[in-house]
Structures are given as structure tokens and as C-alpha cells.
Amino acid sequence: AQSVTQLGSHVSVSEGALVLLRCNYSSSVPPYLFWYVQYPNQGLQLLLKYTTGATLVKGINGFEAEFKKSETSFHLTKPSAHMSDAAEYFCAVSDQAGGSYIPTFGRGTSLIVHP
């Protein structure tokens, strides 16, 4: 069975500082990994995803994530936070277990950006 753990329900950074949101997963087979972002009063939208190939994945708005199989992690980073990055971020994992690719979402991490 697949599962996702997001460390920290809230992360607070100053504008211009490094953003690091942590995600660890559990999967019995090679996983597909996703980060989704939810801005206030909106639905979730894809930020980036890892399927196969290069383990460093670049997404929209300057975000990137690295798949580390040995650490079962897929942490999200951005070198310099902007006020507009304030949102809820969800890590998700899917695999072929059971013949389905239905993703499992983490509990989410709220990113707070201070001026």
C-alpha cells in the first residue's frame, strides 16, 4: 500500500529565503510522485511530477523536487520565496499496486511567507 508523509503542517519563511517542503512516501513498487499547490479559495493544481527518467524535476514558478529512492523522499524546494508562493502544498504518490494508479495525497503543508 502506498502512503505519503508531509513533515510539518506549516512552514514559515521570509520573502527571498529558501523554501523546503518535505515529503516522504511508502510504495511497494516504483512510484509516480507529484506536488500539487492550492491557492486560497481554489482547487489543487499540478506543480510538478516525477514519472521516469531524471530524478530532478522542475515545475512551475521556480519550484523543483528531487526523487531520492534511497531516502524514499521527494522534497520540494525553491531558492527564493515570493509572497505569491503562500499556499497549501500537497505531495502525492501513485503506483500500480492493485492495478490502479489512483494517487494518495499527503495532509498538506501550509507555506507562509513573511515580508
Partner 1 sequence: DAGVIQSPRHEVTEMGQEVTLRCKPISGHDYLFWYRQTMMRGLELLIYFNNNVPIDDSGMPEDRFSAKMPNASFSTLKIQPSEPRDSAVYFCASTKQQGQGGNTIYFGEGSWLTVV
Interface residues with partner 1 (CB under 8 A)?
32, 34, 36, 41-46, 49-52, 90, 94-96, 100-103, 105, 107-108
Of the CA atoms within 13 Å of residue 108, those in its CB half-sphere come to 12
Per-position b or e across 98-111, b if 16+ CB within 10 A of its CB: eeeeebbebebbeb
Among the listed residues 16, 89, 6, the one whose alpha carbon sits nearest the alpha carbon of residue 47: 89
- Nearest approach in angstroms of CB 87 to partner 1 is 14
The residue among 52 and 70 lying less far from partner 1, judged by its C-beta, is: 52
- Nearest approach in angstroms of CB 36 to partner 1 is 8
The residue among 32 and 81 lying less far from partner 1, judged by its C-beta, is: 32
- Nearest approach in angstroms of CB 94 to partner 1 is 6
The residue among 36 and 81 lying less far from partner 1, judged by its C-beta, is: 36
Distance, in Å, from the CA atom of 82 to the CA atom of 3, rounded to the nearest integer, reads 30
